Structures are given as C-alpha cells and as structure tokens.
Structure 1
Amino acid sequence: MKPTIAPFPAARFRRARSSSSVRALVREHTLTVDDLIWPVFVRDGEGVEEPVGSMPGVMRRSVDRVAQAAVEAQALGIPAICLFPYTNAALKTEDCAEAWSPDNLSNRAIRAIKAAAPDIAVMTDVALDPYNINGHDGYVVGGEIINDETVEALVKMTLAQAEAGADIIGPSDMMDGRIGAMRQALEASGHRNVMILSYAAKYASAFYGPFRDAVGASGALTGDKKTYQMDPGNSNEALRLIERDLTEGADMVMIKPGMPYLDICRRVKDTFGAPTYAYQVSGEYAMIQAAAQNGWIDGEKVMLESLLAFKRAGCDGILTYFAPQVARILNA
C-alpha cells in the first residue's frame, strides 16, 4: 500500500494526535485481554505458592493453587492458561517415563483446572526437559540428542495430555517431524478437536535462563540446545519451519523469544496469514521487572508497550507472565 499524502500544511500529522479520543480513533493496533495466554508453573504439594527468585511476581503453585489461579484468570477474561511443571528430581530419568504418566503434575493440573474453571482453555508444554535427567528436550544417546525416538516419546506425552483434557498442545521441543506424528496420533485416538500450537521457530536463546530456574532444569542441563533450537542469526529458516509445521497439521504457530524476534513475527504473519503467537519469555519479563523495581523505567507503561509491540508485529496473541496484571488494567 502506498499512502496518498497532501503537502504541508494541508497534511498535518499532529492533528490526529491532538487528543486521547482522536488518537483512539486512528489507532492501528490495540491490545485486549483476548490476546493473552498466561504461563503458570506447577509443583507438587498442597497449598503451596513458592516465589521464583529470578522472576519477581511469578510463583510455582501446587495443583490446588493452579486451579485457583485458573478461576482468577477465567474471571479476568483471559482465554488460556499454559502449564509448565517443576518436576521432583527423583522423577527425572533417562527414559523420561514421567512425561506421559496420567498422574504427572501437568495432567493432574489439567483435570483440576477443567473442574474449577471449565471455560478457560488449557495449553500444555510438550518436551522432555522437565522429566529428563540430562535436562534436554529429547533423548540423549552418546552425547547426541536423537530425533525419531524422541518424537515417539512426545507422541505418548501428547496423548496423555489430550486424555487429561488439554485443549491446546504446545510442542516446544523442536524435533523434526513431531507435528505430523502428533496430529496423526490425535486423529487416530479420537482427539480431533485438540489444537496444536507449535513452537515452530524457537531460537537457541540466552533469554530462557529464568525459566530454566523456574522448572528446575538449569542444574540438570548438560551442554546446550543448539543442535535442535534455531540459530539466532537465521530468518529464512524460520519460514521454512513454519511452512513445514503448518503442512503437518499445526493449527497455530509460535515464535520464541518474543521482542528480540519481532521481525520474524512480522515475516511469518505476512507470508502465511496463519494464527501467529509469540512468547514474551522469562528473560524479557525479568528485565522489565528488574528495571522497574530499580526505578529506571515505568514498569506498567513498559509492560503495556512491550505487549502492544507484538500486536503491531502481526501476532494474534502473546504468552506473557504479565497476563493477570495486564488483564486487570485493561478491564478497568
């Protein structure tokens, strides 16, 4: 689109900025509660809310408290909540069998949320790292993260979550071929309406550090994840991955991290037009919170501006730890 612009003074762009009401009339992008997905960490115990030190304001919650959080989110109008387990170290093994146990933390939390807040969508995480003694998203054999055997395990994990009542499966593992395998298994098992929100372009980023603390994966991780997560220098590769996952049956796609990769969000939306999401990851959240707590920025204004940037870049929604806080502001 090439805009037609009259010469000055016929065209004065400041006219459209002259008041809050006029600015609202011409605003191109708007953030709403409907855009939010709230990531929540679940741990064992009962009545537990445990602060995550590197993520001010974020808690690890026991299943009963996660259900309470879902009730709160539903009342605020947040459409979806996403679960990440903080697994007991004793349950982390090389075969990662806890990942598809019907009674693991995530699956118990799904059932509890569905009982307490049936109108909120439950999204899950599909990757082996919370259950892997090596801290990797896939099986490790001879120092290599192997692909095909990992995909078989991820399919079992997917089906267990679908059986528990998950609405949206979120594969974050970055193994090749996993979307097609998951979609085929979901169809064959009668879970035809379970959606897949694929972490299709997940970068090997340094912005994930606080998250790994939150799920207890930092100490377990050996090496790095660069053989399966994307190189931060690549952009065209992201489009190839998005196209592959859409052709294999992903309903929605995600870019992770968020703000450092807004160019990828824009390219993906413009190229495919598919429902596109971004994850405002733990490092992004922690930086805003730390700067706000030190008085260096206005935390509330930066929070809202950062989320609006995702909408401007073409995202249909954002996973953000700010979700409840933002929802209260927008609802007010």
Structure 2
Amino acid sequence: MTRTGDSGVSITTRIDAATAGLRMRRLRQSDWSRRLVRETSLTADDLIWPIFVREGGGAPEPVPSMPEVFRLSVEGCVEAARRARDLGIPVVALFPYTDADKRDERGSEAFNEGNLVCRASRAIKAAVPEVGILCDVALDPYTSHGHDGIMEGDRILNDETVEALCRQAVVQAEAGCDIIGPSDMMDGRVACIRQALDEVGHRDTLIMSYAAKYASAFYGPFRDAVGSGGMLKGDKRTYQMDYGNSDEAVREAAQDIAEGADMIMVKPGMPYLDIVSRLSREFGVPTFAYQTSGEYAMIMAAAGNGWLDGERAMIESLTAFKRAGASGILSYFSPTIAARMPRR
C-alpha cells in the first residue's frame, strides 16, 4: 500500500511482514562483522600435508606437473616435518617415489623395513615426534604394473592383496607411522589390517580408511610424483568406485567403520563434496577429504596464467571442504595456507 505525500512522491507505508526490517547485507558490510558471524572457519589444525620422499640427498626435486611441489630426501622430509610443526600442521602424509629397479609384480618393496617410507618415518619420529605421520597402504608405488594390488593376468586378486597390505601396514607401524591409510579399495582390508596391527601390539595405531575412493581422472600428477606414471596397465575401475554412485559410498563407509576404521576419507575432494557431506552426516565419524594432485594442478595452472586469484581460490576451495562437513583435508596447499591462517 502506498500514499502520495504533499510533494507528490509515492511513499511506501507498509512492507510485507516477513521481510520487515530484514537487511541481510548489514552483517556483510565490515570485515569484523563478517568474521564475527562466519559459520565455517579453516585453520592449520585442519590440514594434512602430503609429502613425496625420494632416494638420495641434495636439493628438492620439482614435480613438473605440480608447481611448487617437490620430491624430498629423507632429511628433507625431516625438515618439512619441522616446518609443519612450526606452522601448526598436525600431520604429514608420506608417499614414496620408487625407482623402477625396486618395483616388481607383487610390490615387494612395500614390505622392506628399510624402504623410503619407513626410513623417513623413523627419521621424523626421532627429530619431530610431536608431528603425526600418515602412511598410505597400497601397492601401486611399488608394483611394476602400477596397480594397487597383486595381479593375475588382468585381474586384481582381492584376498592375496589384503594379505600383502597387512604386511605393509605392520612394517609401517613398526617404523613409527601413527595413522595407517589403506587407499587400495580391496574388500575386507580394514578388518584384516586392524587384526594384524593388534596382534603385534600396535593397538593404538589409527586407521584412516579411504572409504570412498573413486576411479578418477584427477590422479595423474600424483602418479608422476611417485614414479608410476606410464606404468599402469589397464585401469582401476574394477576396484575404485564409479563416479556416478553415491549410495555405494555409504555402503563402503559403513563396512569400513564396522571393521574398525577410526576415520574415513573421500578422494577426490571437490568433485565429491556431496559425498563428503553425506558421509559426515550419516556416520558422525571424523571424515576427511583429499584435495588431489589434479585439483591442485588445475588451480596452480589457472593462477599461473593469471586466470584467477590463486590465493583466494586456494582458501575458498579448502573452506568448501570444511563447510561440507570434513574434519580435515589432505592438501598440497597445506604449508602455504597454514602460513596465512590463524591457529586455534
């Protein structure tokens, strides 16, 4: 309803009761007010830093497809762990670059107590014991065919692979690994790994299961970083999940939690925010997301070409994981963003 004043100007005298006085922009008008009412916050405590370890010494070795990411010597990993501690990053994740002459059909180097991951774990625990260590449990960094499991012809053998993964997990726990991260997607592996760890006295070693790991195009740079690029025979769709499925992720997570997983993981991250949200709400257990090498490389490439603001995109992308319900994120941006973020 309006009326016309003496001046002839129409004056609104009543507005809909549902919107009376409502001005959503009031809370956005200042930096302090935006921070005061922010629903989702990101800090260094939310981050896990993936690190690539290689043989030898010397300077860090760049990963061409991942700008500002490097393969580090064992001593370089120790320095990275010190940096993580100083930045407030609670956990580093170790991934090995395995030379071709140490790869075979069955991934035997995974069981070597003196392999790269084990040596790096021992060195980090000796120098920086307050930083947690996450170790990937899968055979692909060690196999000559690039698959996560043991092959027979064109088939990945589930039960034989699970037995091998148990051996790998025990070796890593003995070396000082705090969190075992089975990323292989074999059936029943969480229960078997839990039993294997308990039997040798590692009852307190955590398991972060990659419960929903999709057969994705976003893993390419990672495979280059660990030396398996170009080795893969066939693809991984017989054991990694179909990206068209969501209910399947719920079943996978339910099985892993029932088998003893302390935490679960969704990989990749941003293309699967719906899965992160669904699993975190469905189960109420710590749920993590992996911002994969391909996701990282896309942001870095676009930023490098001036197509977007790289720093803002980095922070926005990681905050999206938290908003979706993730307890934390594995990200190659971790040291960069931790240097810019407040600590709790």
Residues 83-125 of structure 1: CA deviation (Å, up to 9, x unaligned): 0000011010112211011000000000011112110000000
Q: Is 1:205 the counterpart of 2:216 in the alignment?
A: yes
Alignment of 1:1-332 (within 5 A): 7-331=18-342
CA distance in 2, matches of 1:192, 1:323: 29
Does structure 2 retain, via aligned residues, the 8 Å contact 1:36–1:319? yes
SS of the residue 2:300 aligns to: helix
Equivalent AA in structure 1 for residue 29 of structure 2: S
Displacement of 1:6 after TM fit?
A: 6.7
Aligned-pair identity in percent equals 61
> Structure 1 runs of 4+ off > 4 angstroms?
none
Displacement of 1:48 after TM fit?
A: 3.6
Instruction: Go from structure 1 to structure 2 and tell me whether the alpha carbon gap of 1:216 and 1:6 turns closer, same or farther (over 3 Å shift).
Output: farther
Q: How many residues align?
A: 328
Name 2:3's counterpart in structure 1.
none
Equivalent AA in structure 2 for residue 51 of structure 1: P
Name 2:10's counterpart in structure 1.
none
Displacement of 1:20 after TM fit?
A: 1.1
CA distance in 2, matches of 1:209, 1:331: 32
SS of the residue 1:111 aligns to: helix
SS of the residue 2:19 aligns to: coil
Q: Which piece of structure 1 moves more, 318-327 or 44-53?
A: 44-53
SS of the residue 1:133 aligns to: coil
Q: Which runs of 5+ in 1 are unaligned?
A: none
Residues 274-324 of structure 1: CA deviation (Å, up to 9, x unaligned): 000000000000000000010010000000000000000000000000000
Q: Which runs of 5+ in 2 are unaligned?
A: 1-15
Does structure 2 retain, via aligned residues, the 8 Å contact 1:68–1:116? no
Does structure 2 retain, via aligned residues, the 8 Å contact 1:125–1:170? yes
Instruction: Go from structure 1 to structure 2 and tell me whether the alpha carbon gap of 1:6 and 1:266 turns closer, same or farther (over 3 Å shift).
Output: farther
Bigger-Rg structure (1/2)? 2
CA distance in 2, matches of 1:8, 1:236: 39
Residues 199-255 of structure 1: CA deviation (Å, up to 9, x unaligned): 000000000000001001112110000000000000000000000000000000000
CA distance in 2, matches of 1:219, 1:42: 20
CA distance in 2, matches of 1:6, 1:27: 27
CA distance in 2, matches of 1:115, 1:299: 36
